Amino acid sequence: MNLSDTPPVPPHLASEAPVAQAATPAPAPSTAPAHAAGLSLVNLAARQRMLSQRMILQTMLAAQGDPERQQAARRSLQIFTESQAHLEATPRRMEPAAARRIAGTYHGAQGVGPTIHAFIERVRTTLDRISEGNGRLAGRSLAELVQLTDPVLDALNTATTAFDEVGRAQSEAIMRELTGIVTDIAGIAREARVVSFNAQVVAARAGAHGREFAVVANVLTDITSEIDRLTRDAAVLADRSRRTA
């Protein structure tokens, strides 16, 4: 039968015909996945390195007929994929300089994003081939996956380094700001001590009429002493944080 002989779809059924829709990529998660809760970005990026090697080992064992390893490899792949999506989405929540650094690391001219995504797809394809029971295709796919071991590890190391540098830069900026605040507080405390001393002198000269003023001056002295103590503590903390950064 020719296509021209095909009867048309009745009008009352036309609305029931399925309509193909273009697939849209899933939006990147705005919050960290549950398995990444409590991890800093640099630690999450470092965990990706460990997961990549674990997935390769699990996939190799799955290819030898171990169904539990295949399930474990798929769980690792899901964690790896979700973590990668979260890491690549972080520039939207960063300051401009840090955002440019991370975005360039993944998607710049020398970005490592394509290598990481190729690795994800190769793991997924290899596991699918193993599930299908096609030993020849599974073996070929596994060999290609093993060849990606060093490239993906280099890519993940580059990403981890970028997050580490961004984190250090942010910590240094916070320390500079904290040091400036401590300096300002110390200056205010010095001025308050001078005011307190002058108030005590005036109260002493006023005799009985200056008693209430003397009480206020003494309270101000106590306050400035407490400010001095807190300033010293903050300075020590800032210096300790700077040394351990």
What confidence score (pLDDT) does residue 241 get? 59
H or E element at residue 111: none
What pLDDT is attached to residue 80?
A: 97
pLDDT of the residue at 206: 74
State the total domains in the chain: 2
In a domain, 32, yes or no: no
Q: How does pLDDT run along the chain (245 residues), one tens digit per residue?
A: 444 444 444 444 343 434 334 334 444 455 778 888 888 999 999 999 999 999 999 999 999 988 999 999 999 999 999 999 999 999 998 999 999 999 999 999 999 999 999 999 999 999 999 999 888 888 999 999 999 999 999 999 999 999 999 988 877 777 777 777 777 777 777 777 777 777 777 777 777 766 776 777 777 777 777 777 777 777 776 666 555 44
pLDDT at 238: 65
The pLDDT of residue 115 is 97
Tell me what pLDDT residue 210 has.
66
Question: Is residue 29, in this structure, part of any structural domain at all?
Answer: no
How far apart (Å, rounded) are the C-alpha atoms in residues 70 and 66? Answer: 7
Q: Are residues 71 and 190 in the same domain?
A: no
Residue 193: domain span? 174-244
- The CATH number for 78's domain is 1.20.120
CB 98 within 8 A of CB 90: no
Domain end, chosen from 137, 169, 201, is at 169
Residues 180 and 159 in one domain: no
Residues 47 and 162 in one domain: yes
**Do 70 and 129 share a domain, yes or no?**
yes
Q: Are residues 83 and 120 located together in one domain of the fold?
A: yes
Q: Say if residues 71 and 118 touch (Cβ distance below 8 Å).
A: no
Residue 112: DSSP 8-state: S
Q: What pLDDT was estimated at residue 26?
A: 44
Same domain, 43 and 163: yes
- Whether residues 111 and 205 share a domain: the answer is no
Rg (CA), the chain: 32
Domain boundary among 154, 169, 184: 169
Burial annotation 24-47 (CB, 10 A radius, 16+ → b, else e): eeeeeeeebeeebeeeebbebbbb
Q: Assess whether 190 and 161 both reside in one domain.
A: no
